[in-house]
Chain A
């Protein structure tokens, strides 16, 4: 079953709305969570790295005031797209890096959130 839960899976909203996406690791504690974005026919691009209890590290070109990341616990990170505009329409995917029992540290992906801003 899924080890990383991401909600919602689909959002359609009006321009100017803020949208919050949740990412939860279900049966392990994630030392680090990552947020990626994928535009059509493009590769996944890292937006930010989120460590529990500290500020997220944003990639160049990603506005931290527009994409607010909160990593309140070892199992939950949220991404809020503030005042979304049509150009923010994309597929947002989170991943959580951690170890399941007895395993190695690997990244597990959420199912993604498809955001469409009208």
Chain B
């Protein structure tokens, strides 16, 4: 079983829509969780960390459910510039803090 699983999409949504991505992980020792975005042929960029209490950054809301071992990302009022691949990532100290990446979920926001 892969350590991080994400629906690859693509998710095609109109501008202004709300879209949600989920991700499951299998390593219960995972300690820190993140959402990164990756644009085509570029390096990943940190979008936000994910906390058990849930956290929000503008139009983006992330949630972590440790009991069910999944994290989610909600994007409200989608913009064209949100089109990218969203990577679910976790970090654990027992792997030397290396990041484990999902394959990513592709989002295309259309006019």
Q: Which chain A residue shows the least CB distance to B2?
A: A43
Is A32's beta carbon under 8 Å from chain B? yes
Contact residues in A for B1 (Cβ distance below 8 Å): none
Find residues 1-57 in chain A having any chain B CB closer than 8 Å to their own CB.
Answer: 32, 34, 36, 41-46, 49, 57
Overall SS of chain A's interface: strand
Which listed residue (B41, B45, B96, B101) contacts A43, Cβ 8 A? B101
Contact residues in B for A93 (Cβ distance below 8 Å): 43-44
Are A34 and B99 in contact, with the CB atoms below 8 A?
A: yes
**Known pairs A42-B103, A43-B104, A95-B99; A110 contacts B43 (CB<8 A):** yes
The answer for the CA separation of A43 and B96 in the assembled complex, in Å, is 19
Which listed residue (A32, A45, A95) contacts B96, Cβ 8 A? A32
Is B29's beta carbon under 8 Å from chain A? no
Which listed residue (A41, A44, A46, A111) contacts B42, Cβ 8 A? A111
Question: Contact flags (1/0) for B92-105 with A, using CB distance below 8 Å?
Answer: 00001111111110
Is A106's beta carbon under 8 Å from chain B? yes
CB distance from A97 to the nearest CB of B (A): 6
Are A46 and B98 in contact, with the CB atoms below 8 A?
A: yes
Question: Contact flags (1/0) for B14-54 with A, using CB distance below 8 Å?
Answer: 00000000000000000000000000011111100000000
Are A111 and B98 in contact, with the CB atoms below 8 A?
A: no
Which listed residue (B46, B99, B103) contacts A46, Cβ 8 A? B99
Find residues 74-118 in chain A having any chain B CB closer than 8 Å to their own CB.
Answer: 91, 93, 95, 97, 105-107, 109-112, 114
Q: Which chain B residue shows the least CB distance to A106?
A: B46
Are A57 and B42 in contact, with the CB atoms below 8 A?
A: no
Contact residues in B for A112 (Cβ distance below 8 Å): 42-43
CB distance from B88 to the nearest CB of A (A): 10
CB distance from A41 to the nearest CB of B (A): 8
- Contact surface of B with A, Cβ cutoff 8 Å: 4, 41-46, 87, 91, 96-104
Q: Which 3 A-B pairs have the closest CB atoms?
A: A43-B103, A44-B101, A109-B43
